[in-house]
Structure 1
Amino acid sequence: MARLHGRGGRRGGGPGGWLAVGARGVSAPLSIALVAPEFLPDLGGVETYSYELARELSRRGHRVTVFTRRHPAGEVAGESFTVRPELSLRRYLDGPLLHREHFDVVHATNAAYAWLALESAPVVVSVHGNDFLRPYCRVGRRDLQRWSGPWNGLRRRLAGLDRALGERRTEAWMAAGLARCRRVVTNSLYTESVLLARLPSCAGRTTAALVGLSPELMALPEPSPRGGSPRLITVARLSEPRKCVDRVIAGLARLKDRFDFTYEVVGDGPLRPALVAQVKASGLAERVTFSGQLERATLIDHLRASDLFILTSDVLPTSHEGFGIVYLEANACGVGVLACRAGGAVEAVAEGVSGFFVDAPTPAAIGGAVEQFLAGAVRFDPHACQTFARGFDWARVVDRIEPFYIG
């Protein structure tokens, strides 16, 4: 696994601009720029996707340079790819940065960076759902407030104008770039269908390459049987209400007088204080633990010590679960999952084998499903969960992507 250090990785690349790939086979090593605003050590599905993609491409002998944002905790180190934490999330700054380098292909792992296809070729773009539904990397901003001098009133007006214009530019550049790039890679068939409904100009240019699991997760042994109170766990960023952690807590409150259990919430974000208050008001303070953001190895240990993973995400017009790699990570630890029958989660969960569903993420439905599990009416075989998860590996994902690097 990756180690952390305080500064960026070594530099790579050379002089000149981007060049289109010539006639070469996949077996020939390529120089690949992986433009990944979301990357480890931050936790999340897109961060994991970008990191594992870089690892698999490097394992195949490609020379991979990852361009990402600077992370306060430091950058991943000890890998065979180069990490350059130099992205600013602004096109007017990142364009010149990338033009100074020579790469055979550019692969962006966020839809907002599809503008790269307007400036060079070849470009492949991976999309995940929320990144194109409502782009959150607002690369179209120009930071006008920096130019406004000492007048605070003017600075505020310029900041508002910059925000509005930046959002419009970001969406326009994204749509134009996705229509022009060599291939748009989606994390699920569901995400592919949503993308094509929103941007029909991408028709004929998409591939659902899905996602994979790391070799470390693939190699985990089956967990040992454990006794004691059933342990429930959720892993999610506590910044999106659609993750429905509040509804899980409300559902569990219905069961506290009849069943023994503990519930751990892993993750952090602005919703945490309200969730902590809800737990106290629900009389669950001795049952529920908020662990914050955990190191990767520690997170795996916590998953392996759990009995049921719960993430009943809802689908909103501007936000959805494009796939849900965390369901597979829980399965790889031998743990069954409870999900909502919505979005890409339907592809990430094998009903009755690796997990089960609620049809709507209401407290009553979630509480009823967890009650079935606690009462023993629903059980999942750890070996079957792991077998299902091992069907998703990064070698297969890259097998689907790699041909588009060369034509």
Structure 2
Amino acid sequence: MTLRVGLVTSEFPPDLGGVETYSWQLARELGARRELEVTVYAPPAARGLAPPQGVTIRPVLTSCMELDWARLSGEPIDVWHALSAAHCWLAQKDRPTVVSVHGNDFLVPYPATMRPALAMPALWRLRGFAWKEFEPLWRRATAQMLRRALPRCGAVIANSRYTADVLQALVPGGGDRIEVAGVGVDAAFFDVARMPGHGRPRLLTVCRLSEARKNVELVLRALGALKERFDFEYVVAGDGALREGLERLAAELGLGARVRFAGRVSDAELRQLYAMADLFVLTASVIPASHEGFGIVYLEAAASGVPSLAARLAGAVEAVAEGESGYFVETPSVEAIEAALALFLSGRIRFDVEDCRSFARRFTWARVADVAMKSYRQTLSMPASMP
């Protein structure tokens, strides 16, 4: 008998990011399973996307709980899978619900506001006056929703042990329903043919340029301090509100000829950037409202044969194997990043391409889909009256 699965996500291509990648890849993996009928409920931006085989995309979400439920309630679905904590409220509607959690999705309030007039896509990434003024209220509202909804979910799938532990601290109880499935990496990255440089080390960062905690500024300042001692090229792929200021900083530091901001890139362009890179650099900080729950980009780099420099914080500790697929700075500061980059640029620390790829092979979307399948069966076997 075919099981009808509804994947609900506010983060989906063509938008870019870790959760967007998770949503697409899991949908693709589940869609390949003959026993499932998979429908993805996504924002309007997904309209026009060619869906993976075996998957139907319904671009109907509004970022408003009331309106979304009006559109979802009549759908012929056997089990719902909220692909982030934003939609775990589905469990409160007495529908069999599984939820995937990533970290930021339950640390900050997503725009499930109950009021159509307040429906604002991507509100959870808002910064500035409104964020500072209302953050305590929004954070309390998020925690309250989670405490009500998560115990009613049949299963919770975490992208890392770190994420699972943070969730347990925020919403005690229900630990027996949390399973760490990790993430996967697209097989296409393993096929990346290395493109060796001509003696100039190539550094690469891939991230949204909308969060200061990604610390691209610190990397630029560290490279500014190293520019007289080492030759290098640094490429930053990604876009966002911080890009213009970072470009100005690179020029002020005298790095204009060595730093290139590539902006938003296609999948093919991204793989080419990895093919040309010698070191992936993402030394992200942890702040109360945001952290790296895992960091799929570290796996993409490793699968491409590229080691990573990361901060020994949050889920990055699970995404990078020290000495095998990369190394760490203990604290993301200019001085620490400068010292770590000097180790690599001087050749005092080296990594093997196949070691990096071997580590990345431990993470597969098939495993995440297996955990999801187990969770669906577990949820459907529960009594109708959930706690």
TM-score, normalised with respect to structure 2: 0.89
Aligned partner of residue 285 in structure 1, secondary structure: coil
Q: 1:215-294 maps to which residues of 2 (within 5 A)? A: 215-218=187-190, 220=191, 223-294=194-265
The whole-number CA distance in structure 1 between the counterparts of 2:285 and 2:247 is 21
Q: 1:304-319 maps to which residues of 2 (within 5 A)? A: 304-319=275-290
The whole-number CA distance in structure 1 between the counterparts of 2:73 and 2:197 is 55
The whole-number CA distance in structure 2 between the counterparts of 1:145 and 1:238 is 26
Q: 1:20-35 maps to which residues of 2 (within 5 A)? A: 28-35=1-8
Aligned partner of residue 111 in structure 2, secondary structure: coil
Residues 41-64 of structure 1, C-alpha deviation per residue, up to 9 Å, x if partnerless?
Answer: 211110000111101111112111
Residues 158-183 of structure 1, C-alpha deviation per residue, up to 9 Å, x if partnerless?
Answer: xxx99998776554333311121001
In 2 relative to 1, CA 393–376 (structure 1 residues): closer, same or farther, beyond 3 Å? same
| 1:121 and 2:92 are equivalent in the alignment | no
The whole-number CA distance in structure 2 between the counterparts of 1:313 and 1:379 is 22
The whole-number CA distance in structure 1 between the counterparts of 2:283 and 2:137 is 35
The whole-number CA distance in structure 2 between the counterparts of 1:330 and 1:102 is 40
Report if aligned partners of 1:183, 1:205 keep a CA contact under 8 Å in 2. Answer: yes
Partner residue, 2:385: none
The whole-number CA distance in structure 2 between the counterparts of 1:54 and 1:259 is 44
Partner residue, 1:209: 181
The whole-number CA distance in structure 2 between the counterparts of 1:386 and 1:145 is 45
Partner residue, 2:366: 395
In 2 relative to 1, CA 247–221 (structure 1 residues): closer, same or farther, beyond 3 Å? closer
The whole-number CA distance in structure 1 between the counterparts of 2:263 and 2:47 is 15
Aligned partner of residue 173 in structure 2, secondary structure: helix
Aligned partner of residue 31 in structure 1, secondary structure: strand
- Aligned positions, number: 364
Partner residue, 1:347: 318
| 1:88 and 2:67 are equivalent in the alignment | no
In 2 relative to 1, CA 41–144 (structure 1 residues): closer, same or farther, beyond 3 Å? closer
| 1:44 and 2:21 are equivalent in the alignment | no
Aligned partner of residue 200 in structure 1, secondary structure: coil
The whole-number CA distance in structure 1 between the counterparts of 2:91 and 2:263 is 38
In 2 relative to 1, CA 36–138 (structure 1 residues): closer, same or farther, beyond 3 Å? same
The whole-number CA distance in structure 1 between the counterparts of 2:322 and 2:138 is 42
| 1:197 and 2:175 are equivalent in the alignment | no
Note the C-alpha offset of 1:141. Answer: 4.4
The whole-number CA distance in structure 2 between the counterparts of 1:132 and 1:378 is 37
The whole-number CA distance in structure 1 between the counterparts of 2:297 and 2:211 is 16
Residues 274-329 of structure 1, C-alpha deviation per residue, up to 9 Å, x if partnerless?
Answer: 11111111111111111111011111111111110000011112211000010000
Report if aligned partners of 2:162, 2:314 keep a CA contact under 8 Å in 1. Answer: yes
Q: Which amino acid aligns with 1:242?
A: R
- C-alpha RMSD over aligned residues: 2.1
In 2 relative to 1, CA 78–185 (structure 1 residues): closer, same or farther, beyond 3 Å? closer
Partner residue, 2:375: 404
Note the C-alpha offset of 1:110. Answer: 1.3
Residues 364-387 of structure 1, C-alpha deviation per residue, up to 9 Å, x if partnerless?
Answer: 111111111110011111111111
The whole-number CA distance in structure 1 between the counterparts of 2:172 and 2:251 is 48
Aligned partner of residue 371 in structure 1, secondary structure: helix
| 1:133 and 2:101 are equivalent in the alignment | no
In 2 relative to 1, CA 140–221 (structure 1 residues): closer, same or farther, beyond 3 Å? closer
Partner residue, 1:386: 357
Farther-moved stretch of structure 1 (274-283 vs 167-176): 167-176
The whole-number CA distance in structure 2 between the counterparts of 1:165 and 1:141 is 15
Report if aligned partners of 1:222, 1:334 keep a CA contact under 8 Å in 2. Answer: no
The whole-number CA distance in structure 1 between the counterparts of 2:98 and 2:307 is 34
Q: Which amino acid aligns with 2:26?
A: L
Report if aligned partners of 1:141, 1:166 keep a CA contact under 8 Å in 2. Answer: no
Farther-moved stretch of structure 1 (81-90 vs 209-218): 209-218
Q: Which amino acid aligns with 2:174?
A: C
Aligned partner of residue 103 in structure 1, secondary structure: coil
The whole-number CA distance in structure 1 between the counterparts of 2:118 and 2:91 is 28
The whole-number CA distance in structure 1 between the counterparts of 2:201 and 2:364 is 30
Gap regions ≥5 residues in structure 1: 1-27, 147-160
Partner residue, 1:63: 37
Farther-moved stretch of structure 1 (76-85 vs 48-57): 76-85
Which structure has the larger Rg?
Answer: 1
| 1:335 and 2:335 are equivalent in the alignment | no
The whole-number CA distance in structure 1 between the counterparts of 2:48 and 2:77 is 25
The whole-number CA distance in structure 2 between the counterparts of 1:72 and 1:56 is 18
Partner residue, 1:177: 149
Partner residue, 2:51: 77
Report if aligned partners of 1:141, 1:163 keep a CA contact under 8 Å in 2. Answer: no
User: Stretches of 4+ moved more than 3 A in 1?
Assistant: 76-79, 143-146, 161-171
Q: Which amino acid aligns with 1:41?
A: P
In 2 relative to 1, CA 33–224 (structure 1 residues): closer, same or farther, beyond 3 Å? same
Partner residue, 2:292: 321
In 2 relative to 1, CA 88–377 (structure 1 residues): closer, same or farther, beyond 3 Å? same
The whole-number CA distance in structure 1 between the counterparts of 2:289 and 2:137 is 19
The whole-number CA distance in structure 1 between the counterparts of 2:99 and 2:46 is 26
Q: Which amino acid aligns with 2:347?
A: G
In 2 relative to 1, CA 72–57 (structure 1 residues): closer, same or farther, beyond 3 Å? closer
In 2 relative to 1, CA 164–241 (structure 1 residues): closer, same or farther, beyond 3 Å? closer
